Chains A and B, each alone.
Chain A
Amino acid sequence: MGDYIVIIMGSIFINNIILAQYLGACPFVGTSKKMETATGMAGAVVFVLTLAGVITWVINTYFLVQLNIEFLRTIAFIMVIASLVQFVEMFLKKSIPALYAGLGIFLPLITTNCAVMGVTLLNVQDELSFVAAVITSIAYALGFGLALILFAGLRERIDLGRVPGPLKETSIGLVTAGMLAMAFMGFRGMV
């Protein structure tokens, strides 16, 4: 049990997928202009990453390792995740229209999200058990959501301030992201 808490804390804060591992920077900048968009994106990532964590673990353990073709891991994962997102989108549209309407355009966006790819690959690299892989995936997704929502809140406030012309919008956003990443470095060595 203690191990899992370490995994959760580690994945959310210490090895935060965005601010410590620098994965998923595109949606981090792209969908953080408004709090509403940011929360939508965070929800979608939690949803997809959990599913991707499960299915890629299965593919890796029962196919790639068994057949001794681990070098195909990247290409296989891309294919599986892309198909998965498509499938989930269709499934939700039919079965849970409310959730589909809530996640909206963010589901297809995640197809190209390197954070999802990165987490699944990290899971394999660390040779985690099934349960540990699932928990890690959820925790990384929560970390992603935390960073995104924090960042969106900051950007909304910055928008109200007087920013020099050349630094407007994304530029000041990246500077802020850098400082946020430094702040997260403070978690290093906690576990």
Chain B
Amino acid sequence: MSTFVSGLLRFRRGPWENLSTVLIALGVVMLMQPFFLWAFTYSFVVTLLGTVMFIITSHFPE
């Protein structure tokens, strides 16, 4: 856990990419879940944030 946090603080690619991946997956789940309309409403913002973050963070050093 502490490695993950220190990786985030030092702008390392691995943890940031993992965080973006989680956001994308969360966005897709929010888009398709049948329970809450508010989750569907905010799904696009979450997926977009994750995708943009992924594009940026994939250029961070290892």
Our verdict on whether A and B bind, yes or no, reads no
